[in-house]
Amino acid sequence: MRVRILLLTSAFLTSTLANGPLTYAENDERLEKCGRQFLNYQTGTGINYDKTVLDSDIKHLWLVGVSSQYSPTHAHRTNMSLGSIISKRHVITSSQVVIGTNVTNETLVWAYNGEAVNPTGEDCDERGNMPVPKEVTELLVLRAMWCEGETLACKYKSFAVERAWILNLCGRERSYHKEASPFLLELKADEEEIKYPCLINASTVLPKLSRVDAFGLLYKQEMHRVTMYAKNAAIHSFTDDKKFMILTDHQRLSFGDRGGPLIRNDSETVILVGINADGALLYPRTYYWDLRLIQEDFKRFAGIHNEFKGQPPSSTSTALPSTSTPSSTVAPPPDTTTFLPTSTAPPPVPSAPSTLAPPPVPSDPPTVAAPPPTTPQPTEPVNQSTKSTKQTKSAPKEPAKATDVPRKEGNDGEKESDDLFVSEEFLNKSTAKSVLILFALSFLIQ
């Protein structure tokens, strides 16, 4: 019986820790798999997903429709947005599915009950991100934008949400085209078979007039009837705060466009560069969130780091500074020039003319050799004992670093810290739950 209790506890811990940010190994797998599934471009025509096409005829295998309950009397907002799967258990979409605007005073409210949203420092972290309450995430409905099966009676795949965050919500000016924020979702179950796009790296240069493809939903769609379209366009400009990319040659109007992906079409890899922020494609300007500005949030909440697998290793970046320490391969030109002398000019060794045999240098052994001074130390018992006690107290600090999980460097060579992936609070909650269940089972057996 005790063995059974241990097995149940172990299973509970395993299922609990299965969620959360990606581990280093899982993120490496994401980098290997991402960017291989292109979407079919039905520019200007649209695709009706009312079970009128077979899954073999469509290739939108990483797009999902995200919806939630909302109260028309309290908030005027559509209850559906287009979302993109960006890892085996993460989706990025628009916050409009859970947050709306009060019809009388234009304040932000939760769409399902009309209660006020308080985007202040009390509810948000230092980067303006707000965790979404559990009662809100339980109302979310995610449905795949493809149909499983080869008949017209095929079924749409659905996904359950474990937790969610509204990114960049607090501490910024709000207007109509900037109201909806990026909405990051964590799925309850991993989707191993789904192919997803790569994410643009924070250090990637994305100049004006870059060709992109924008995907959206026509008008105010309901979950049972969805028409999606794609539009080839060009990035016209960027806002002064560098948070938004502006497109000018769209010709559609749809609230469901919010959260829709913006993809580079000049690369052999599918790269997600932005998501729709305003949903008003009939307006002269259409705003898209620039995903380069929320890279740190992806790292912290989703464990997604070192994005953009398709960037050549030798390319440099000058468009947007990365928040992490850059390496010599992707650093801006001023940094690379400072490192060039150290990488091209070897240390001056006058006694060693040949570069193939650096070891035989007559003047170096007596100055560099460390073992000779350490050997006579055991001859002094009194002083050595005091030194050894001090060394033994500080020695455990060094092996602790050796136990760290080796990290794989991405395209920009940056290494992430451990606190970005599995938070201590998350582990403490999981451990507390397992201990409570173990005591409960033991009490029942007795």
Residue 387, SS3?
Answer: helix
Joined together, the tokens standing for residue 110 give: 């939760």
Q: Which amino acid is at 436?
A: L
Judging by beta carbons within 10 Å of its beta carbon (0-12, 13-18, 19+), is residue 350 exposed, middle or buried? exposed
Reply yes or no on whether the pLDDT at 266 is more than 50: yes
- d(C-alpha 169, C-alpha 363), whole Å: 63
DSSP state of 26: H
Confidence of residue 351 (pLDDT cuts 50, 70, 90): very low
- d(C-alpha 27, C-alpha 16), whole Å: 19
Sequential DSSP letters for 268-301: SS-EEEEEESS--TTSS-EEEEEGGGGHHHIIII
Neighbours of 445 (CB within 10 A): 10
State mean pLDDT over 393-419.
Answer: 38
Longest dimension (CA), the chain: 88
- d(C-alpha 408, C-alpha 162), whole Å: 28
- d(C-alpha 54, C-alpha 148), whole Å: 8
Joined together, the tokens standing for residue 435 give: 């201990």
94, 168 contact by CB (below 8 A):
no
Ordered domains of the chain (ranges, CATH): 1-20+423-446 (no CATH), 21-302 (2.40.10.120)
pLDDT digits (tens, 9 = 90+) for 187-223: 999 998 888 999 998 888 888 888 888 887 765 554 4
Reply yes or no on whether the pLDDT at 393 is more than 60: no
pLDDT digits (tens, 9 = 90+) for 29-54: 999 889 888 776 544 444 554 544 55
- d(C-alpha 41, C-alpha 259), whole Å: 18
Residue 435, SS3?
Answer: helix
Residues, the chain: 446
114, 101 contact by CB (below 8 A):
no
Joined together, the tokens standing for residue 413 give: 């060579």
